[in-house]
Structure 1
């Protein structure tokens, strides 16, 4: 996956690809070399997803600061996405 493909990949697309790879790895039927390549790709997709989330959080923070009245409240782990 090239650098330009990474930046053009949406959060949703990265997560979909990551889910597919995880499913393939969980089946345990891939040869070791292919499993390692899939794992490496999964790490890259995970980083892309995390960067996209951080960018979205920064944008939301900026928008709230422009408004001047709203504040972000950090969710506890029990309130996380399930």
Structure 2
């Protein structure tokens, strides 16, 4: 599963969500799909973290800049 691209993992996750939302799967299949979704989510998170680390390294090498979290930026706007 780790050989999937981020886009492929997200697409599979979206398909699983649609299937689960329809509520037509038998319980056993729904559980299997849910387990698969959890694995896909973990793989996606790892790929995003790897990409963030790579961008951070490239920025530091070129400009000495650091990445800031989107959550931190959004939290500051909410407090205003």
**TM class, shorter-length:** 0.7 to 0.9
In the superposition, the TM-score normalised over structure 2's length comes to: 0.84
Root-mean-square deviation (CA), in Å? 1.6
Q: CA deviation at 1:10?
A: 0.2
1:16-55 equivalence runs, <5 A: 16-55=11-50
1:58 maps to: 53
In the superposition, the TM-score normalised over structure 1's length comes to: 0.82
Q: What is the rounded CA distance, in whole Å, between the counterparts of 2:22 and 2:42 in structure 1? A: 23
Gaps in structure 2 of 5+ consecutive residues:
76-80
List 4+ stretches of structure 1 deviating above 2 A.
68-71, 76-79
